[in-house]
Amino acid sequence: MENKLRLQIVSPYGLIFEDDVDEFAASGSEGDFGVLPGHAPFLTGLKIGMLSYKKGNETGYVFINRGFAEIVPDKAVVLADSAEKAEDIDVERAKAAMKRAEERLKKAEEIDFARAESSLERATIRTQIAEKRTMR
Ligand code: ATP
């Protein structure tokens, strides 16, 4: 489709999102990046973060829990460890995960810091994205 980009977001839990969008932006391991249709091919790692896309007047937000993005001129495939559209984020679950991670980090003994910090980061960003939902 002219001036559109097929965006597909897949996780081990299934197909999370697929649509033709005008543009999208995400948190790459080397920094934030934006993609328009016709972009030169590239491959990048993805951090825990937010992917946002525009389709007409609509802006959508998707939580991405690390992964990779492969971009070719008319298509982008995101492979994430887990991902949810803003409207699918369970805020209570994210808050509970945040609390668990914070309590583990406070104890500061015999815990896997990297794991607790990642969990806290996921929960924090899920909560922020859930507040956005889809804007039309
Ligand atoms: P939790 O500690 O609550 O399980 P987590 O960050 O460890 O969170 P993940 O391993 O990232 O969870 O994801 C496991 C599955 O649960 C995935 O399908 C993911 O999309 C889903 N998931 C995790 N947290 C949420 C949430 N707050 N809202 C909706 N789905 C979620």
pLDDT number for residue 75: 98
Q: Is 104 in the pocket of ligand 1 (CB under 6 A)?
A: no
List, for residues 82-109, the tens digit of each pLDDT value: 999 999 999 999 999 999 999 988 886 6
Mean local confidence (pLDDT), 27-44: 97
The total domain count for the chain is 2
* Enclosing domain of residue 120: 89-135
CA separation for the pair 93, 30 (Å, rounded)? 30
Confidence of residue 72 (pLDDT cuts 50, 70, 90): very high
Contact 89, 130 (CB under 8 A): yes
- Residue carrying the six token digits 């794991």: 115
pLDDT at 113 over 90: no
Q: What is the Cα–Cα distance from 135 to 57, expressed in whole angstroms?
A: 8
How many angstroms does the Cα of residue 83 sit away from the middle of ligand 1?
8
Give yes or no: residues 102 and 115 share one domain: yes
Same domain, yes or no, for 82 and 111? no
82 lines ligand 1 (CB under 6 A): yes
Ligand 1 near 97 CB (within 6 A) = yes
126 lines ligand 1 (CB under 6 A): yes
pTM of the shown model:
0.92
Under 8 Å between Cβ of 31 and 42: no
